[in-house]
Amino acid sequence: MFFPRVCSFLILFLSAAGLSASQDLVREVPGLRVQIDLSQRTYYINEPVQVRVLVINESDQPVRFDLGRHLFQNYNFRVRSLRNTEVRERESFQLEKYAARQDLAPGRVLTIAPGERFGREIDIAAWLRLAEPGTYEVTGYFLLRPVRSPVDWRYTSNSKRFDLQPPRDVADAVRDEVVRRDERETKRLSAGETVDYIIAAKRRSDWNAYFRFLDLERLIMVFTRFRTRYVAAEMAERGTVMEDFRRYLRVFPAEHIEHHFVKNVSLTRDEETLNETAKVECLIVYKTGLLVERKTYHFSLYRKLDRWYVSSYYVINK
């Protein structure tokens, strides 16, 4: 009777030891830390976004973990926009993720000694649908076991932000246009060039550029109904009147501008004050369906430092 009892005891002991060994693989390890890093801050759509993942053992004990046969079994990522919209996996990744195998002893148990680190670089652009320009935040996750279970421990990394630009050829074209626009805006424009700049901005609905050289506080006095409201308004209410005036200028006149060109420019300089003013005559042709209208605008400008500003204008129909 003694022998069966001993056998039963040994079986129970070995079973408990095996359970303990299994739990060693899935229990949370204090001091195990996951860190991610990016090689750059800006990336382009359709190009790799490499994330370096490091699993660092800062404890005083070795850590054992199961290395899955496929990368996604040990590594996960969450990428969100600044509007808290989560980026989903690529549809192609659902089909290809089983081809992304570990390159080091897949399917085996590995050990990270105290003070050591383990990791690799992963292109998250191949995993996730990074298709919209913007700023994103990526967080990494590392699983001790490749097969999830109720006792799995998933370690969360720090978060990193990166900017996603349009595809490189598009981004280059946009950058070149910005450079050309900056050169135009910083260039010292003559009175005639200033009027041409304003009309061209209106034609392409570039309202920041359109209002850049308009002195709205003087120009509003040319329009009777806005002048009456502006003069009668309290100081705190004038901002509302001015916003209405800006909206009016954006839609007036309603017809489409077919073309325009500056015809005549005359300059005047006050010898006592040295103040300079200018009169600019500009022909603008509007086309609405089959109707074509020719209007001559007479702009009044004044010079402040090295820039000209429109203070008033009137129109003559031709």
Mean pLDDT of 141-154: 70
Task: Kindly report the length of the chain.
Answer: 318
Strand partners, 66: 109
* Structural domain boundaries enclosing 241: 188-317
Model-wide pTM > 0.75: no
Residues 155 and 117: their CA atoms lie apart, in Å, by 14
What pLDDT is attached to residue 215? 96
Identify whether 177 is part of a domain. no
Residues 6+ apart with CB under 8 A from 151: 23, 26, 27
Find the CATH number of the domain harbouring 30. Answer: 2.60.40.2970
Mean pLDDT of 145-160: 74
Q: Is the pLDDT of residue 234 over 80?
A: yes
Local confidence band at 31 (pLDDT 50, 70, 90 cut-offs): confident
- C-alpha dihedral sign at 54, 58, 60, 65: negative
Identify whether 180 is part of a domain. no
Q: Which has the higher per-residue pLDDT, 313 or 290? A: 313
Identify whether 12 is part of a domain. no
Tell whether 149 and 234 lie within a shared domain.
Answer: no
Tally of domains in the chain: 2
Each residue's pLDDT tens digit, 93-102: 877 776 666 6
Q: Which has the higher per-residue pLDDT, 25 or 157? A: 157
Residues 186 and 309: their CA atoms lie apart, in Å, by 15
* Last residue within a domain, chosen from 138, 169, 200: 169
Identify whether 176 is part of a domain. no
Residues 130 and 164: beta-carbon distance below 8 Å: yes
Tell whether 66 and 117 lie within a shared domain.
Answer: yes
Residues 215 and 242: beta-carbon distance below 8 Å: no
Structure tokens at 282: 């500009």
Identify whether 287 is part of a domain. yes
Tell whether 163 and 234 lie within a shared domain.
Answer: no
Each residue's pLDDT tens digit, 177-209: 766 666 666 578 999 999 999 998 888 888 888
* Last residue within a domain, chosen from 136, 169, 202: 169
What pLDDT is attached to residue 182? 62
Identify whether 290 is part of a domain. yes
User: Residue 307 CA to chain centroid, in angstroms?
Assistant: 33
Structure tokens at 49: 């976004």
- Burial of residue 215, with CB atoms counted within 10 A of its CB: 0-12 exposed, 13-18 middle, 19 or more buried: middle
Tell whether 217 and 149 lie within a shared domain.
Answer: no
* Strand residues in 144-269 grouped as ranges (E): 154-165, 256-269
Tell whether 194 and 158 lie within a shared domain.
Answer: no
Tell whether 192 and 160 lie within a shared domain.
Answer: no
What's the whole-number average pLDDT of the chain? 82
Q: Which has the higher per-residue pLDDT, 125 or 9? A: 125
Tell whether 165 and 192 lie within a shared domain.
Answer: no
Find the CATH number of the domain harbouring 288. Answer: 3.10.450.50
Local confidence band at 314 (pLDDT 50, 70, 90 cut-offs): very high
* Last residue within a domain, chosen from 169, 198, 231: 169
Residues 126 and 103: their CA atoms lie apart, in Å, by 17
Tell whether 121 and 206 lie within a shared domain.
Answer: no
**Weakest-pLDDT range from 11-25, 78-92, 130-144, 261-275:** 11-25
Residues 197 and 309: their CA atoms lie apart, in Å, by 11
Tell whether 257 and 306 lie within a shared domain.
Answer: yes
Tell whether 289 and 165 lie within a shared domain.
Answer: no
3-state secondary structure 84-126: CCECCECHHHHHHHHHCECCCCCCCEEEECCCCEEEEEEEHHH
Residues 64 and 53: their CA atoms lie apart, in Å, by 18
Q: Is the pLDDT of residue 255 over 70?
A: no
Cβ count within 10 A of residue 269:
11
